[in-house]
């Protein structure tokens, strides 16, 4: 119901499990960018960002850490975010594999800031069960995060800051998810619903900018939870 709960953890594997490996087999899909027309806002989808089994790996890891109602260091108004989340630092190799697949499809600069050659390794993974919703909001912007060389602590990448949210859908209708679309609100009154599809990612402008995109996670129905990972796309400072 909003607010910050002290000592909410951020997780990482001491030794990443062998099954969390995005380079274990050739990537045989072709990512494709599709525009989302919503009052000229910066919103687009990239299809085929991950293999189905890679999405399953991220869900498996997130469930191992465990979902909870609170989120670390993030305050929302009461009643805005009604779902469960877990934040964890993924191995940089996983995020680098994703970035290499989509880098040519991303904006190369925003407001004069250039795209950096990596994604933040801090994953905000959300689990929406029946009736869960994330009401209308704008995502905050963040620096990039990773692990120290010895893996003992989270470190902030001082030379990066995010401009785009990447919502990576980890399951969808074909997996039994009912509802759960991401609703995009245009500044001139347009409304577009983007249906979650496993392995696809939705991108939009975020942060304290006039062009940031208002959006909401629509209610999920039925017994199958919806999973998605928010990943921050980084630009130089």
Structure confidence by residue, pLDDT tens digits, 170-194: 999 999 999 999 999 999 999 999 9
Q: What pTM value is reported for the model?
A: 0.97
Nearest to 71 by CA among 142, 131, 9: 9
Residues in the chain with pLDDT values less than 50: none
The pLDDT value recorded for residue 1 is 72
Predicted pLDDT of residue 12:
97
From residue 122, give the alpha-carbon distance in Å to each of 90, 119, 191.
6, 9, 29
Domain ranges across the chain = 32-236
What confidence score (pLDDT) does residue 24 get?
A: 78
Amino acid 127: pLDDT: 98
**Interacting residues of 140 by C-beta distance below 8 A, sequence separation 6+:** 74, 206, 207
Name which of 45, 129, 121, 42 is nearest 89 in CA terms.
121
For 32-236, give the CATH class.
Answer: mainly beta
């Amino acid at each position: 119901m909003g607010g910050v709960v002290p000592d909410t953890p951020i997780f990482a594997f001491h030794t990443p499990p062998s099954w969390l490996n995005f380079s274990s087999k050739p990537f045989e899909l072709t990512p494709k960018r599709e525009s989302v027309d919503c009052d000229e806002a910066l919103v687009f989808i990239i299809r085929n960002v991950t293999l189905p089994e890679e999405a399953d790996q991220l869900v498996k890891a997130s469930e191992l850490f465990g979902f909870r109602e609170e989120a670390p260091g993030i305050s929302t108004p009461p009643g805005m975010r009604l779902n469960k989340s877990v934040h964890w630092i993924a191995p940089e190799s996983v995020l680098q594999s994703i970035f290499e697949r989509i880098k040519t499809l991303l904006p190369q600069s925003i407001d004069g800031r250039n795209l950096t050659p990596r994604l933040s390794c801090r994953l905000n993974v959300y689990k929406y069960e029946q009736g869960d919703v994330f009401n209308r909001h704008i995502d905050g912007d963040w620096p990039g995060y990773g692990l120290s060389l010895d893996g003992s602590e989270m470190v902030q990448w001082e030379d990066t800051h995010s401009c785009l949210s990447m919502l990576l859908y980890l399951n969808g209708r074909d997996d039994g998810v009912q509802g759960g679309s991401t609703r995009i609100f245009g500044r001139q009154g347009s409304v577009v619903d983007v249906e979650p599809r496993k392995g696809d990612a939705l991108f939009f402008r975020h942060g304290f900018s006039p062009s940031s995109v208002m959006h909401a996670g629509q209610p999920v129905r039925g017994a199958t939870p919806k999973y998605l990972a928010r990943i921050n796309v980084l630009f130089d400072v």
